[in-house]
Structure 1
Amino acid sequence: MISIAFTKNAFLWCMSAVYLMAFASIYHQAPGLYGNNGILPIKNRLLESLKGSRTPEDAFYERPTLLLLVYRIGLDYESGFEFICILGILCSFICMVSKMLRDSFMFAVLWFLYLSIYQVGQTFMWFQWDILLLEAGFLTIIVAPMNMFKSHDPKPRQHDAITMWLVKWLLFRLMFASGIVKLTSQCPTWWGLTALDWHYESQCIPTPLAWYMHHLPQWFNALSTAVVYVIEIVLPFLFFAPIRNLRIFAAIMQIKLMTIIFMTGNYNFFNILTVVLNISLLDDRFFRKEEPKKSKIGKNEFTRILSLVVSCIVYFAILYGTIYFFDLRINTSKYSIESRINFTEAGFFKAVRKIMPFTIHMAVISLMSEILGAFYRCIVLEKSLLSKLWSTMQCVAISAIAIYMFTISLVPHTAVDNTAQRNLWPIVSEWHQRTDHLQITSSYGLFRRMTGVGGRPEIIIEGRQNHQLQWKAYDFLYKPGNLSQPPPFVAPHQPRLDWQMWFAALGSYQYNPWFLNLVYRLLQGKQEVVDLIGPSPFPDKPPKYIRAKHYNYHYTRVNSNTKDWWTSDKEEEYLPSVHLGMQQFMQILSQTGIFEDDSKPKKTRTNNHLLENLLKITRTYARQISALHFILSLIITAICLTFLS
C-alpha cells in the first residue's frame, strides 16, 4: 500500500490554514455585524434564549455555544465573540506552525470555537461553506492523531486510510449534489446550457477576470457548462476507483474547476476548502515523498498494463458520454463547438432514482474494503503482539465511528431524491436528527438556480442631511455600486454584509429585516457599521434621511467607449425615505429585535478589565489594515514559520 502519512499531514496543515482564514475574516467584521452597535447584536439573540429562569448552562445544551458561558471569565457577549475569534486565530496559527500540536485535541477546540460563533451568526453565517467547514472540521478531529502534546512526531496509524475515506466521502457528496441540484431544480438556464451567460455578471462579488469571461463566445460558455456537469456528476465516481491514476485525474479536474471559480468569483475560503478535501484522493507518491515499491517484474508489468487499459476505457467512456449526452458538434463555418442537453427531464429524474442507491452501495463496498485492509495491516505489518492488539483496538473504534458518520450522512446525501431518502431505515433518520444541531453532517448543492437573468439586481443606499440637499450614495468596498469602480479581488476574505446585500436585492426589505437594522445604524452613524461599507459620504455627521434604490446592473460591452465596468437601468424604489423620528419605521425596527428589551435578564457584564483592554488593543491594530491584508499577513507569517521550523 502506498503511504499517506505526508498526505494526511498536508491535509491537517491545510485545514489549519482554512480555519485561520475563516476566523480572521469574521473577527475583522465582528463589531459591525454582531457588536452592541452592530446590525444583528448577538446579545439580543443570546438573551432571548435566557428568558425566564433558564440558566446559561441549560441554554448551552440546547444551543451549544461558548458565548453562553463567557460570563464565567468576566466578559460580555460582544467581547466574548471577539475573544472566541482570537482564540480560533491563535489555535489555527499554532496548528499551522507546529506539527506536534496538530492533533485531535486542537482540532476539536477549533471545531467547537467555530460552532460557537456559527450558532449565533444568524443570517450572516447561513452559508454552505460555513456548514462545510464545520463538517470537514469535525472529520479532521478524527483524522488527526491523538498526540496530546507529545514531543515526538505522531506515527502513521493503520486506520489512517479509513479516516481519510470519510473526507473523500464528504467531497463526493459535495460535488455530486452540486451537479445534480442544478438539473433537479429545473432551472431553464442550466438545462439550456446558458447559465454561464449570466453567472459571471450576476454572482455575488465578481472579480475583474469575470468581466472578461462574461464576454467569451456563447458557444464556449455552453461547452463550459457541459464540462461542469461532467466534473461534478460523473468524475466524483472516480474518487473510489481502485486505479490510482483515475483518482488523481478526478482530483486534478476538481482542483482546476475550483481554481477557475476562485479566479472569477470571490467565494472566500470555499474553493480553498474544496481543494483541501481533494487531498484525500492523493498519496505520498503524488507529493514525491515515496517511490513506488519494486515487485516481481512480471507482476508489476501486468498490473501496469491492466491499469493503463482500464484507464483508457474509462477516459474513452467519459469522452464518448460527454459527446453523446451533450450532443457536441463541430461547426466549421462558425469555428465553434455547438452543444445541447441530449436527454429529457423525465429521463434524468429516472436516472437519479437509479443512481442514488448505487452511490450508497458503492460507498459501502469502498468503506468496507478500507476497514478490512486496515485490519489486515494490523495483523500483518505490526511486529509485536502488543502492537497488533493496540492497532486492532484502534481500528475497531475508528471503524465504528466511520460507519456511524457514514450512516448519518446518508440523510443529507439522499436529499436530492425523495425516493432514496424514504427508503432509508427509520433509525438512520433518528440518528441524524440527534446530531443535527451540531452540524457534523449536512446537505449541499451550490448554484442550484441561476439568478440575475437579464441583469444583476443591485441595491444602492443613499442619504442626505435635509430636503434641500442632493442624495449621496454609499459606495460599498466590494459589491458593485459605483459604475466606474472595478470589481475587487478579496478572497479568502468574505465581506458578509456585501454578500447579504446581494441576497436582499433578490427580494424586498420585508423579507430581509436585517436591512432595516443596517439603515438604522447608518442613521445613527455607528462607526462599526460604517467600517463594513467603506468611507462614508457623510464624514462629519450621519445623514438625517436614508432611502434605497433598486437597479439592474450589466457589464459594459467590449467595444464601448467608456472606462466604466458597469451600466445600470430599471431604477425602482426599494426602501422609501426613512428617518429616526418616523414612527412606522421605529415600530418595524422594534420587531427585528435590534433594541434591547430591559425586561430581559442581563447575564453578562464586563468585569475582566485586563482581558477587555487587551481585546481593545488588538481591535485597534486590526482596524488599521484591510481585512484581506489582515488575513494574508497571518497566513504568510504562518507559512514562513512553518518552513523555518
Structure 2
Amino acid sequence: MQASYTVKYTKGLFLRCLCIVYLFAFVSFYIQAPGLYGDNGVLPARSLLENSIHKTLSAKIHYQPTLIWLAPYLGLDVNYALDVLSLLGSFLAFTGFVSQKLCTLPLFAGLWSLYFSLYQVGQVFVASNYDDLLLEIGFIALLVAPILPGKRRGYKSSQNDAIRFWLLRWVLFRYLVTSGIIKFISGCPKWWSLTALNYHFQSMPLPSSLSWYAHHLPNWFLKLTSVYTNVVEIILPFLFFIPMRNVRLTGFIFQIFLQICIVLTGNFSFANLLIVVLTLSLLDDKGIQSKKVSEEPSYVANIVNILIHGALFYAVVTIFSLKIEGSVVESKIAFTKDNFEVAARLGISFALYYGLSTLALTILSTLANILFSNNSWLNKIWSFIKTIMFSLLVLMIFFASTVPLTSLHSSTNTTVHPTVRATYNRLHKIRLINDYLLFKQMSGVDGRSEIILEGSDSLDGPWVEYNFLYKPGNINHSLPFVAPYTPRLDWQMYWAAQSTYDKQPWLLSLTHRLLLGTPEVLSLLDRNRSPFLKKPPKFIRGVLYKYKYTSWNQGSQQSWWSRVRQNEYFPVFSKDSPVLTEYLKARNLIPTTAKVVPNPIWKKILDKIRYVASHLEATLLLWSVFTAGCAVISTSSKSK
C-alpha cells in the first residue's frame, strides 16, 4: 500500500488551493481594515497596542506578537501598516495561486506570519473558528511545502508525504467529529429530535439567497438531511485512515457534497472552502489522475469498499430508524441519551488510540520504505534520521491536539497528562492547535434575534433604520451570496443579538462612530440606502426584533421576512452622551490622532490603492482578483 502512495500532484493542488483561501482572507481583511481597525474604526488597532506597558520591541512582541510593531521603523503608522500587511499577504497568496512552483516553505511562512499578525489585532471580529482553522492548516502547510521551488508539473515525492497527509486528515477528523458530537453532548432537543434544520436556515448568522427556499423544504427531507449531516460528521471520518484508496475516495465524495450544500444555503466565509482543501488529503495522485486510475483496477478493493459502506448504511438505518412510508422517508433517533453518553465516552477514547495506532503504522511503513529502497546506505541513514525527527514533531502535535477532543467529555478530560495540556496551551496561544465547538445549541427556535440601529434628529422621532449590507434588515430584501468574503461586522451583529449591549464594547463604539458620521465605518454599511450619508443623526438607539421567514406564498410576493419588535436593545445615545463617552474612554475606544506621521511616499501609494479598491463592491473586488489569477494561469499554460 505505502509503496504506491504518491502525492506529488495532490500536494501541489493542496498548496495552491490553500493560497486561494489565503487570498480571499487577506483581501477581505484589507477591504474592512479602515472601518474595523483604523484610528477612526470600531476597534482601533492602535488603541489595543498602546495598552502595552512594555517599552522594548522584544517585550512588545512577546506581549502581542505582531509585525505591526515594526511600523514606526518603516515610516508607517498603524493604519498604513495594516494595509501593507494585508496587501503583502494578498500578493504572496496571489503568486502562490498563479504559480505552483512558488508554493514553497518561505512563501507559506510569510503568509502565516502576516495573517497571524493581523489576527492579533482582530479582537472580537476574529473570534470565529474559520480564522483559527486557517492558521492551523497554514502551519501544517509549512510541513507540507518544499523548501525550494518545485517543477512546473508537481513536486518531487518525499518519503514523509504519507505522514504529512496523515496530519492533514487528523485535522479534518478533529474538526468534523468535534462539530458533530458536540451537538448531541450539549443535549440540544432540536438536534436530538432531528429537527434542527427546521430552524437552522432561518437562524444561521448570515443566510444566503437560497436559505429561504431550504427552510421550506418538507420536514421529512430536512430530518433526513440532518441524519446525513450527522453521519458524515461523526461516523465517516473514522474511515479517513483506512489504507484503501477507494474508501478514502468515497469519503471525499460524501464530504464534498455536504460542503457544497452548506455553501449554497449559507454564508460561512471561507470555512467550507478550507474543509474542501483539507479533504484533498483523502486523495493521492492515482485518485486524481484518471489515466492511472484505469491502469490498476482493483475488484477486491471495490468489493471491500462496498461492504464497508453497505455495513455502515445498515447501521445508519438501524440507529436512525429509517423507514419508507409512502413517498417519504421517516427517521428518528433509536438510541437514548444514556446510550450516547456511553458511546461518546468510548468513541472519544477509541478515536485517540485509533489515531495514534494509524499514525504509528504510517511512520513505521515510511521507515520500512526507506530501509528497503534502492538508495545508497548513506542516503538511507540520512532519510531515516530526518523521518524520525519529523515523526517526533508530528507525535508532539498529535498528543497536544488530543486535548480538545478529550475535553468533549468529562470522563476523558480528566485523563489528560499535565505535560500534554501544557503543550496544548502553548501551541493554542499561537493558534497552531485549536478547538472547534460549533453551534452546540440551536438558537432562534422562536425566530432569529436581530439588532436594528435607528437614528433620529429628535427624541420624538421619526426614527430611521440603518441598513447593513449582508445581514437581515429590510423584510423585503433577500440576502446575497457573500462567501468566501468575510463581512465581520454583519457576522458579529448576529452574536451581539444573543447577548446584552453592555458586554459588547465594539457595538457601542460602532454607535459612537455612526453618531460622528465616520466615513470609514459608514463604508461597512449600505451606503446606497443610508439615510444619514451626508449628515449623521443626533441620536441613535438599538431595537431588538424577532425575524421569521415568511410562508411559501408570501415569498412569491417579494416579502422574505416577517418581524416583530421585542424591546429596546440599548437606550438612546448622542455623541456627547456622558454614559457612552465614559464607557468608551474606559476602554480606550475614543478616536485620537496618531503620533506617527507616515512616510509621504508610502502614504501616496497606499492611498491610491485604497481609492481604487473603495470604488468596487467587496465581493466584486474579491472575485475580480480571483478571476485575474485564473486568467494569468490560463495565459501562462497556453504560452507553454
Q: TM-score of the superposition, structure 1-length normalised?
A: 0.94
Contact 2:47 2:588 (8 Å CA) reproduced: yes
1:386 Cα deviation after fit: 4.3
Q: Per-residue deviation at 1:164?
A: 1.2
Query: Any residues of structure 2 matched to 1:194-343 within 5 Å, and which?
Result: 194-288=195-289, 291=292, 304-332=298-326, 335-343=327-335
* DSSP-derived class of the 1:100 partner: helix
Q: Runs of 5+ in structure 2 lacking a partner?
A: none
Give the drift of 1:518. 0.5
Residue 82 of structure 2 is matched in structure 1 by 81
- Over the matched positions of the two proteins, sequence identity in percent amounts to 38
1:496-524 CA-to-partner distances (Å, cap 9, x unmatched) read: 10011111111221121211101000000
Cα separation, 2, equivalents of 1:634 and 1:315: 41
Equivalent position of 1:525 in the other structure: 517
Report deviation, 1:435: 2.2
Amino acid in the other structure paired with 1:641: V
CA distance in 1, matches of 2:426, 2:206: 36
| Correspondence 1:139-178 to 2 at 5 A | 139-147=140-148, 154-178=155-179
- Maintained 8 Å contact 1:476/1:533: yes
- The letter for the 2-side match of 1:31 is P
SS at 2:630's partner residue?
helix
Question: Take 2:582 and 2:233, find their aligned partners in 1: how far apart are those partners?
Answer: 48
Q: Distance in 2 between matches of 1:124 and 1:81?
A: 15
Q: Distance in 2 between matches of 1:150 and 1:225?
A: 44
Which stretches in structure 1 are left out of the alignment for 5+ residues?
none
- The residue type equivalent to 1:398 in the other structure is F
Q: Distance in 2 between matches of 1:163 and 1:382?
A: 23
Match of 1:620 in 2: 611
1:3 corresponds to which of 1, 6, 14: 6
C-alpha distance after superposition, 1:330-374 (max 9, x if no partner): 222xx3222111111121111111111211111112112221222
Cα offset for 1:15?
0.4
Q: 1:90 corresponds to which residue?
A: 91
From 537, 540, 543, the equivalent of 2:534 is: 540
Partner of 2:396: 404
SS of equivalent to 1:429: helix
Contact preservation (8 Å) 1:523, 1:543 = yes
Q: 1:466 to 1:351 in 2, by over 3 A?
A: same
Q: Please give the alpha-carbon distance, in whole angstroms, between the structure 2 residues aligned to 1:141 and 1:202.
A: 37
Tell me how far apart the structure 2 counterparts of residues 606 and 100 of structure 1 sit (CA, whole Å): 39
Separation (CA, whole Å) in 1 of partners of 2:486 and 2:294: 45
Q: Does 1:578 align with 2:581?
A: no
- Stretch moving more, 406-415 or 202-211: 406-415
- Secondary structure in 1 matching 2:449: strand
Which AA in structure 1 matches 2:78? Answer: Y
Change (3 A) 1:294 1:538: closer
CA contact under 8 A between 2:39 and 2:592: conserved in structure 1? no
Q: Deviations over 1:262-311 (max 9, x none)?
A: 0000111000010000000011122216615978xxxx8xxx44433432
Q: CA deviation at 1:404?
A: 1.5
2:33 aligned residue (25, 30, 35) = 30
Q: Structure 1 pair 576/313, CA: closer, same or farther in 2 (3 Å)?
A: same
Matches within 5 A, 1:468-487: 470-487=462-479
CA distance in 2, matches of 1:366, 1:613: 56
Which string of whole-angstrom CA distances, capped at 9 and with x for unpartnered residues, describes residues 221-255 of structure 1? 11111111111000000101122211111111111
The equivalent of 1:134 in structure 2 is: 135
Match of 2:563 in 1: 568
Relative to structure 2, which stretch is displaced further, 39-48 or 605-614?
605-614
The Cα of 1:634 is off from its aligned counterpart by 1.2
Mark the CA change 1:566 to 1:423 in structure 2 (over 3 Å): closer, same or farther.
Answer: same
Secondary structure in 2 aligned to 1:476? coil
200-209 or 426-435: bigger deviation = 426-435
Q: Alignment partner for residue 40 of structure 1, among 39, 43, 55? A: 43
After superposition, the Cα gap between the structure-2 partners of 1:419 and 1:563, relative to the gap in structure 1 and judged at 3 Å, is: same
Matches of 1:279 and 1:203 in 2, distance apart?
Answer: 27
Residue 597 (structure 2) pairs with residue 630 (structure 1): no
Counterpart contact for 1:147–1:154, Cα < 8 Å: no
Q: More deviation in 267-276 or 339-348?
A: 339-348
Q: Is the 8 A contact 1:163 1:398 kept in 2?
A: no
Counterpart among 407, 413, 421 of residue 429 in structure 1 = 421
Question: Does 2:590 match 1:595?
Answer: yes
The answer on whether the counterparts of 1:284 and 1:290 sit within 8 Å (CA) in structure 2 is no
Q: Distance in 1 between matches of 2:442 and 2:293?
A: 46
| Equivalent position SS for 2:80 | helix
Match of 2:37, as an amino acid?
Y
Q: Structure 1 CA distance, aligned partners of 2:212 and 2:280?
A: 31
SS in 2 for 1:330: strand
Residue of structure 2 aligned with 1:609, choices 597, 600, 611: 600
* Matches for 1:105-144 after TM superposition, within 5 Å: 105-144=106-145
Asked whether the 8 Å contact 1:415–1:443 carries over to 2, the reply is no
Return the offset for 1:577: 1.5
Alignment length, in residue pairs?
630
- Whole-Å Cα distance in 2 between the matches of residues 376 and 291 of structure 1? 25
CA distance in 2, matches of 1:123, 1:213: 30
Query: In the alignment, is the contact (CA less than 8 A) between 2:448 and 2:546 conserved in 1?
Result: yes
CA contact (8 A) 1:514 1:592 kept: no
Select between 556-565 and 37-46 the one with higher mean Cα deviation.
556-565
Q: 1:57 to 1:411 in 2, by over 3 A?
A: same
Equivalent pair of 2:482/2:619 in contact (CA under 8 Å): yes
For 1:562 and 1:585, locate their aligned partners in 2 and report how far apart those are by CA, in whole Å. Answer: 42
SS at match of 2:543: strand
1:559 aligns with 2:550: no
Partner of 2:634: 643
CA apart distance, 1:55: 2.1
Q: Report the CA distance between 1:154 and its aligned residue.
A: 4.4
- Secondary structure of 1:571's counterpart equals strand
> Relative to structure 1, is the Cα distance of residues 445 and 597 closer, same or farther in structure 2, using a 3 angstrom cutoff?
same
Q: Distance in 1 between matches of 2:421 and 2:232?
A: 30
Cα deviation for residue 34 of structure 1 reads 0.4
Match of residue 380 from structure 1? 372
Mapped to 2, the partners of 1:382 and 1:82 lie a distance apart of: 51
- Retained in 2: the 8 A contact 1:268–1:491? yes
Moved more, 360-369 or 120-129: 360-369
Q: Secondary structure at the match of 1:569?
A: strand
SS at match of 2:542: strand
Deviation track 1:438-484 (CA, whole Å, cap 9, x = no partner) reads 11001113222111111111111111123465211111111010111
Contact 2:207 2:265 survives alignment (8 Å)? yes
For residues 132 and 437 of structure 1, what CA distance do their matches in structure 2 show?
A: 14
Contact 2:166–2:241 (CA under 8 A) maintained in structure 1: no
Offset at residue 95 of structure 1 (A)? 0.9
Moved more, 390-399 or 358-367: 390-399
